[in-house]
Structure 1
């Protein structure tokens, strides 16, 4: 028996990277997993196939979370496919991609997070959990300077975290808890790659400063743990980057 048997989880932005690894871990613990993608259907289908080959249950759902249609379609699909919605992992984020509209980072990292949560909550029973995935660079952005190239994205993600935290009393009324997982820069992520491209040597410099950077797989394991961890709603789980705590009062 897995810890998540008979549960259904949505993992946003899970066609690759951290989200894909979290989806695989949750499926391995018995959850039926909705693998969400925006454009890369083949990647999402590959994640689903891997889960199914390992004996798990999963479905790929394309949805643009910056639209009302997208968030409601994603929430509804969990119910249609698996009959429940017990876990929501808010992993999708962005803002450093080229060619995006002005204000896109805030639209995705704040507004879409809140809209996705609001679409899911009416379907989630008492005891459900929401996990929001962020970075130290965003979580501590008001007290610890980050790279100029990343600052607009960091501030939009912090705005998203703040907006979600404001909903904790509403979630508590429904018996739903919210946990935040904040990680240092993660090796091999799209964001890290884009940062290193715009600021060559940034990853190496951060690795030297921190002593260690988590891999995608290592960080995903920490995110997945928070789905069932015995912690209070509003808890922040810090992963790596211990030097941050000497720089801030938080």
Structure 2
């Protein structure tokens, strides 16, 4: 028996990277998982196949969270395929990609997060859990500077966290808890790759400062763990970057 037998989860941005690992961990505990992708259906289908081959339940659903209909499509998929929704992992983020509109980071990292949670909360029973994934660089952006290439994204993600925290009273009234997971830079993520491309040597420098960086799988395990952790609503779980936390106070 898994910790999440009979439960249903949505993991946004889960066709690869951290989101894919979180989806696998939740499925391994018995949850039916909606694997969300924006454009790359083959990658999402590969994640689903892997989960199913391991005896789990999952479905791939294409949805752009910045669109009006995207969040509702994911919630509907959870209800149709798994009978409801108990866990929402807000993992999708971006803003460093080339060719996106100027305000895309804020649309995705703040507005879409709020819209996704608002749509999900309507279907989530008391006892449900929401997990928001962020970075130390974003979480502490108001007190600790980050590299200029990442600052606009960091500020948009901090704005998203603040907007979600403003919903805590409404979530509490429904019996839904919100937990934030803040991590140091993670080896092998798209963000780390783009940062290193924009600022060569940035990841190596951060690795030396921190001593080591978490892998995608290691961080994914920590995010998944917070789906059932016995912590109060509004709790922030810090992963890695002890030196960073010391500077941030």
Q: Does 2:160 correspond to 1:160?
A: yes
Deviation at 1:100, TM superposition (A): 0.1
Write the mapping of 1:45-194 to structure 2, written as runs, cut at 5 A.
45-194=45-194
CA deviations over 1:12-65 (Å, ceiling 9, x no partner): 000000000000000000000000000000000000000001110000000000
Q: 1:156 & 1:170 partners in 2: Cα distance?
A: 22
Write the mapping of 1:218-229 to structure 2, written as runs, cut at 5 A.
218-229=218-229
Q: 1:245 & 1:139 partners in 2: Cα distance?
A: 11
Q: Does 2:26 correspond to 1:26?
A: yes
Deviation at 1:143, TM superposition (A): 0.4
Secondary structure of the 2:69 match is helix
Q: 2:150 & 2:62 partners in 1: Cα distance?
A: 27
CA deviations over 1:132-161 (Å, ceiling 9, x no partner): 000000000010010000000000000000
Deviation at 1:67, TM superposition (A): 0.8
Deviation at 1:233, TM superposition (A): 0.1
CA deviations over 1:216-244 (Å, ceiling 9, x no partner): 00000000000000000000000001112
Q: 1:57 & 1:68 partners in 2: Cα distance?
A: 27
The number of equivalent residue pairs is 249
CA deviations over 1:79-103 (Å, ceiling 9, x no partner): 0111110000000000000000110
Q: 1:158 & 1:225 partners in 2: Cα distance?
A: 22
What corresponds to 1:216 in structure 2? Answer: 216
Q: 2:177 & 2:246 partners in 1: Cα distance?
A: 29
Secondary structure of the 1:43 match is helix
Bigger shift: 68-77 or 109-118? 68-77
TM-score, with normalisation over the residues of structure 1? 0.99
TM-score, with normalisation over the residues of structure 2? 0.99
Secondary structure of the 2:159 match is helix
Q: 1:133 & 1:180 partners in 2: Cα distance?
A: 6
Deviation at 1:245, TM superposition (A): 2.3
Q: 2:162 & 2:94 partners in 1: Cα distance?
A: 17
Q: 1:202 & 1:195 partners in 2: Cα distance?
A: 7
Gaps of 5+ in 1: none
Q: 1:245 & 1:18 partners in 2: Cα distance?
A: 22
Q: 2:248 & 2:38 partners in 1: Cα distance?
A: 36
CA deviations over 1:55-78 (Å, ceiling 9, x no partner): 100000000000111111111111
Q: 2:159 & 2:185 partners in 1: Cα distance?
A: 19
Q: 2:157 & 2:184 partners in 1: Cα distance?
A: 14
Gaps of 5+ in 2: none
